Structure 1
Amino acid sequence: MADGPLIGISTYAEPGVRWGAWQLDSALLPAGYPQVVQRAGGLVAMLPPDAPERAAATVARVDGLVIAGGPDVEPVHYGAEPGPRTGPPARARDAWELALIRAALDLRVPLLGICRGMQLLNVALGGTLVQHVDGHAGAPGAFGRHPVTPVPGTRYAGLVPEESSVPSFHHQAVDRLGRGLVPSAHAADGTVEAVELPGPHWVLGVQWHPEMAEDLRVLRGLTRAAATRVAA
């Protein structure tokens, strides 16, 4: 594809954002997300929250999908009560992004979940989350770094075969794996840092933030899979 595959990225719905003299409800996305997709050879479509029943039609228009990071997933989606350190719910975003993930799985559109996106992928497939872990974030407003080790033989290990240091900012993590998912990287404390679906459908979730790193291998894997799907 001369111009690159079209990658849809879910966005943040934020109330009352100030734009000059205006204060308006907004659909936002940190610039690192579109920039890293562009650097990896893709075109970008930002996907603001919409009615969940429109997710399949939306996903059918893109060649690949990224579910961006963001707030905690509401525990009701995996049958739990909120813990004392779980953040307030983002119900419209949860519903929209879960619908996007399920549509991508149904339509076999290449899918990358980043941080919250990985957690939502796990929840969409029936998994659960640990509602608080320590040591996986920097100071408020700053990313921490820690090493992750790939699991040999996985899709992730095929992209990044060596241990690498990654930027991270999260306090929740995968607990019980969702249906069909396998772990493909771990932190030193055993936290699952990447998950994937084995087989030809390209589905990967990473717990860290590749949009804040120089390493493009994960995003290039997504854009290659998206381009291959279009060419098939």
Structure 2
Amino acid sequence: MKPKIAIVANQYEFAENVFHNHPASYVPQFFLDAIAKVGGLPFILPLTNPEETADYVAQFDGFLLTGGQGVSPFLYGEEPLPKMGQTSLKRDRFEINLVKSVAKTDKPLLGVCRGMQVLNVALNGKLYQNLIYRDRPQIKHMQIPTDDSQPSHYVYTQPDNFLRDIFGEKVLVNSLHQQAVKTTGDDLTVIARSSDDVVEGVWSQDKDHRFFGVQWHPEMLVDYDARNLQIFERLVKLAKAKTSV
């Protein structure tokens, strides 16, 4: 049986062009396609009561947190700085509770872009509210208006982790973020960085490294570099291994 992968939805608050100004939950099709291509069954998980996340976790084999808004600094003990972008406390609280619920099981979780940042905050890490607040020279991490299905900078992998196994010592990636990991959460290890030392990959220190994340958007790069599918394949394989125990 294929493992069931729950992908947490984002939410349009005012979807005027499609839903007549009513809220709407959605997941970009890239993620659904990526999970299906590597043998998983993708499901869209709506933003509901954060206290219900344990019930959701019981129903699925693996979990995927996607991109979107910034993460509210209130959740790691700070107040908003002037250059911070849009946030959604509703989404933050649901996803953080989900991470904590998954942590009580042996199931895997992948965070992509914002999803990696949420994972970090859920495990007591902190973020740069905007990369402009890093006190050092840096490359461009928000590549818009450049085509986001094309790469924009290199990522350098650390030895002895799945990103090194997939990509070697460095790989070209796309980049669509303003926030970034500042201090890593409990039991998370940095496994990739950009040339300006921004954290681009993490994984947990348990035996299976079942929590992991990347800062770029591999789901958008599949046509450019099909190796990016292996990031999602790792999630599905870990989920399948748990269902077969």
The TM-score normalised by the length of structure 1 is 0.93
Matches of 1:38 and 1:146, distance apart in 2: 28
Task: Kindly state the Cα deviation for residue 154 of structure 1 after the two structures are TM-superposed.
Answer: 2.2
2:144 to 139, 144, 149: 139
Please name the residue that 2:235 is paired with: 222
1:177 to 172, 175, 184: 184
Q: Is the 8 A contact 1:129 1:173 kept in 2?
A: yes
Shift of 1:22: 3.2
Task: Indicate conservation of the 8 Å contact 1:160/1:217, yes or no.
Answer: no
Give the % identical residues: 34
- The answer to whether the 8 A contact 1:67-1:113 is kept is yes
Letter in 1 for 2:236: T
Q: Which residue of 2 aligns with 1:194?
A: 201
> What is the CA RMSD across the aligned residues, in angstroms?
1.7
- Please state which structure has a larger fraction of its residues in strand: 1
Question: 1:1-232 maps to which residues of 2 (within 5 A)?
Answer: 1=1, 4-18=2-16, 22-133=20-131, 135-140=140-145, 142-143=147-148, 145-198=152-205, 199-214=207-222, 215-232=228-245
Partners of 1:147 and 1:174 lie apart in 2 by 17
Q: Which runs of 5+ in 1 are unaligned?
A: none
Aligned equivalents of 2:235, 2:189: Cα separation in 1: 18
Alignment TM-score, normalising by the size of structure 2: 0.88
1:21 deviates by 7.3
- Give the match's secondary structure for 1:107: coil
Aligned length: 230
Give structure 2 stretches of 5+ with no counterpart.
133-139, 223-227
The answer (yes or no) to whether the contact 2:158–2:169 under 8 Å persists in 1 is: no
Structure 1, residues 60-93: CA drift from partner, whole Å, max 9, x if none? 1111100111101000111111111112330110
More displaced 10-residue stretch of structure 1: 206-215 or 152-161? 152-161
